[in-house]
């Protein structure tokens, strides 16, 4: 920008990597829509993936997918999901 005497880059994975900027795992907007009941589960999931040395890209992808499930559950605890109900969720997701 000539008025700001600065360069601007599109905010994407490639540019963040080049500039050494850490990629957000899940955006603040998504986090604000997850109930307090399920937030610890999302954080635990991210910690486990990090401990298993998954790549940042994989952690981000898995976290986004898990966050979508948690958003749909609203106040219902993910711990209380039955295997059948979780399997039906996976079936619906793979069909879309």
Domain residue extents for the chain = 25-95
- The mean pLDDT of 18-26, rounded to a whole number, is 71
Enter the tokens of residue 82: 């039955």
pLDDT at 22 over 90: no
40-43 — which CB contacts under 8 Å span 24+ positions?
41/66, 41/70, 41/78, 41/79, 42/66, 42/67, 42/70
Rounded to two decimals, the pTM is 0.68
pLDDT at 15 over 90: no
Could you give the CA distance from residue 61 to residue 68 in angstroms, rounded to a whole number?
A: 11
- The mean pLDDT of 23-39, rounded to a whole number, is 78
Q: What are the pLDDT digits (tens) for 39-84?
A: 999 999 999 999 999 998 899 889 988 998 998 899 999 999 999 9
Using a 10 angstrom Cβ sphere, with 0-12 exposed, 13-18 middle and 19 or more buried, the burial of residue 61 is middle
């Amino acid at each position: 920008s000539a008025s700001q005497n600065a360069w601007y880059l599109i905010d994407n994975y490639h540019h963040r990597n080049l500039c050494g900027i850490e990629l957000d795992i899940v955006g603040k907007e998504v986090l604000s829509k997850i109930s307090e009941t399920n937030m610890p589960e999302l954080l635990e999931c991210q910690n486990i993936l990090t401990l298993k040395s998954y790549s940042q890209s994989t952690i981000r992808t898995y976290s986004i997918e898990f966050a979508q499930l948690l958003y749909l559950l609203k106040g219902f605890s993910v711990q209380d999901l039955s295997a059948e109900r979780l399997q039906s969720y996976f079936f619906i997701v793979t069909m879309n």
